[in-house]
Amino acid sequence: MLALALVLAPASAWGQTVTSVNGVQVITGNDPAPLRPPVRTHPTSAPRASVALTSRLGSVIAERALAFQGVRYVFGGTSPYSGFDCSGFVQYVFATVGIRIPRTADAQFAAGRPVPSANPQPGDLVFFQTYDYGPSHVGIYLGGGRFVQEIAPNVHVSDFNSPYFRSRYIGARRLIPS
């Protein structure tokens, strides 16, 4: 629950200052402490450590995404204060764990590593063809057949296996470093 509190805390709680420069929000000051990889206790655990870190980071991303439930939808939105669109929401959540990803759904799809359709993991991005050809909508997979997305009216959890989303699903991508 501590991770959720950090995400919801205003910038000033981290000793940061938020200013606007030519309409762009600039945050200066101290960043929250970075995530630490698991401690390796045996040399043969090295290959599994990467998998464990990816899995742990994916779970953190999923938890942080859930913290934004209820934030309103705004086309082109990139902030929990003014609202998100789907790719702005995903970009913002990944930034909270120090991962920079592209801004738009199609660019996020192109930047990620393909994930087998039957095996998305928490923190993987799931893409859909909705209003435009190709990846035009994105959400963050939570596990258990659920994903969190920003779609009107707000950020909420949806059923990955619903007829609407299954018929529009085009693939999953992993943007968590391995």
Q: What is the pLDDT of residues 104-136, one digit of tens each?
A: 999 999 999 999 888 899 999 999 999 888 999
Annotated active-site residue in 25, 69, 149, 156: 149
The residue type at 117: S
Total-model pTM? 0.71
Chain centre to alpha carbon of residue 174: 10
Structure tokens at 173: 């991508």
Average pLDDT of span 24-45? 40
91 catalytic per annotation? no
Q: Are strands 125-128 and 137-143 parallel, antiparallel or unpaired?
A: antiparallel
Between 43-47, 58-62, 108-112, 151-155, the lowest mean confidence (pLDDT) is in 43-47
Q: DSSP string spanning 11-74?
A: GGGGTEEEEEETTEEEEEEPPPPPP-PPPP-SGGGHHHHHHHHHHHHHHHHHHHHHTTTTPBB-
Query: Which domains, ranges and CATH numbers included, belong to the chain?
Result: 44-174 (3.90.1720.10)
137 catalytic per annotation? yes
Annotated active-site residue in 25, 121, 137, 156: 137
CB-based contact 88:78 (threshold 8 Å): yes
Supply the pLDDT for residue 131. 87
Q: Round the average pLDDT of the chain to a whole number and report it.
A: 79
Supply the pLDDT for residue 118. 81
Confidence of residue 96 (pLDDT cuts 50, 70, 90): very high
Torsional sign, CA 176, 80, 35, 157: negative
Q: Give the SS3 label for residue 146.
A: strand
Does pLDDT of 13 surpass 70? Answer: no
Supply the pLDDT for residue 53. 58
Non-local (6+) Cβ contacts of 28 within 8 A are 16, 17, 19
Between 9-13, 69-73, 118-122, the lowest mean confidence (pLDDT) is in 9-13
149 catalytic per annotation? yes
Annotated active-site residue in 86, 91, 108, 121: 86
